[in-house]
Structure 1
Amino acid sequence: MKNEKNISILKEMAESVRTCMFTTFTAKDEFGSRPMGTAKIEDDGTIWFFTNEYSPKSKEISKDDNVLLAYSDPSKNTYLTVKGKAELVDDKVRKEAYFSPFVKAWFPDGIEDPSLILIKVTPDEAEYWDSSSSKIVVLFSILKAVVTGDTPDMGKHDTMKF
């Protein structure tokens, strides 16, 4: 039951943003991040992305499958990080199901593009912060904390396992 709740939170927060910073480890064992559009989040929490099979990130995933996804929606004061394992998957059925006009901008030949491949991310752990309050309410909470010496109420925060 807890896992279903965690997946629901992950889906709701990530789907509302759609774009994340997708972080891998480079050949020099440094972090490499780039914005990536989420193609699909399945009911089991699996997160899918489209990429070029010959891109640096594909090579990085082949070397080290640990990834970090960071979703952020400052207008709603919501933030989500997802740690997981990534793998490159060539699945024509999923390509057809998840392909969109947005993806077509990078792959004009569509699912027939020979370099088009999917990245499957299986989450291990996620951490989120959800204030969902207006900026005025957040600012008031911070100012109140400064005056009273209390800690500001910044909303919900939790770490979830999958």
Structure 2
Amino acid sequence: MADDNGDRKKLVDLLEDVPIGMLTTFGPDGPRSVPMARQEVEPSAELWFITVKDAAHTRAIGAEPRVSLTFTARDSWVAVYGTAAVVDDRDKLAELWNTFAEAWLPGGPDDPNATLLRVDVEHGEYWDSPGGKVASLLSFAKTKLTGDTYDADHGSVDA
């Protein structure tokens, strides 16, 4: 992913702060969205998830690897799309394993149904309201008083 004037770093920083996102697949049954817990964000905006092999979203990725992900926090929003791959790498799975994953895979990283999803981000956009709730309220008030648009830091990044 290209670094468009620091936008890539900002996108990755925002992704690191939001661990849960909605993964949308586009398999044979059409679009389907599920919440996913992101395990790692690489500096190149490569995202890693722990999942199960026999899930509908994993099968959908096998048929159509294009995916979309959205993440939201109190004062920031990120939307990315790219290509997903099911990665059967036991060492990487053990490296990323955590107790949160055990809620879905109680057999641990050695569970034969455990696998990884890697999403290579091709395009991403973010909207950030630095300063949190107070800054957002001030910006909203400013729009009402001046007619200007809402102040949010927006960036767009392509691979």
Structure 1 length normalisation: TM-score?
0.89
Q: CA deviation at 1:4?
A: 9.1
Query: Which amino acid in the other structure matches residue 158 of structure 2?
Result: K
Quick one: which of 139, 144, 147 aligns to 2:137? 139
Q: Contact 1:27–1:60 (CA<8 Å) still a contact in 2?
A: yes
Q: Which residue number corresponds to residue 49 of structure 2?
A: 49
Q: 1:138, 1:120 → 2: CA distance?
A: 34
Q: 1:151, 1:105 → 2: CA distance?
A: 43
Q: CA deviation at 1:3?
A: 6.1
Q: 2:130, 2:11 → 1: CA distance?
A: 15
Q: CA deviation at 1:27?
A: 2.6
Q: Which residue number corresponds to residue 17 of structure 2?
A: 16
Q: Which residue number corresponds to residue 112 of structure 1?
A: 110
Q: Which residue number corresponds to residue 64 of structure 1?
A: 64
CA shift in 2, pair 1:135/1:44, >3 Å = closer
Structure 2 length normalisation: TM-score?
0.90
Q: CA deviation at 1:6?
A: 4.1
Q: Contact 2:126–2:155 (CA<8 Å) still a contact in 1?
A: yes
User: Secondary structure at the residue paired with 1:111?
Assistant: helix
Runs of 4+ with deviation above 4 angstroms = none
Q: Contact 2:11–2:125 (CA<8 Å) still a contact in 1?
A: no
Q: 2:119, 2:25 → 1: CA distance?
A: 12
Q: Contact 1:6–1:161 (CA<8 Å) still a contact in 2?
A: no
Q: Which residue number corresponds to residue 91 of structure 2?
A: 93
CA shift in 2, pair 1:45/1:4, >3 Å = farther
Let me know the Cα RMSD of the aligned residues: 1.8
For each residue in 1:110-161, what CA deviation from the matched residue of structure 2 results, as whole angstroms up to 9, or x when unmatched? Answer: 11111111001000000000112232332232222222222232x2101111
CA shift in 2, pair 1:6/1:134, >3 Å = closer
Percent pairwise identity: 30
Query: Which amino acid in the other structure matches residue 81 of structure 1?
Result: A
Q: 1:107, 1:4 → 2: CA distance?
A: 40
Q: Which residue number corresponds to residue 161 of structure 1?
A: 158
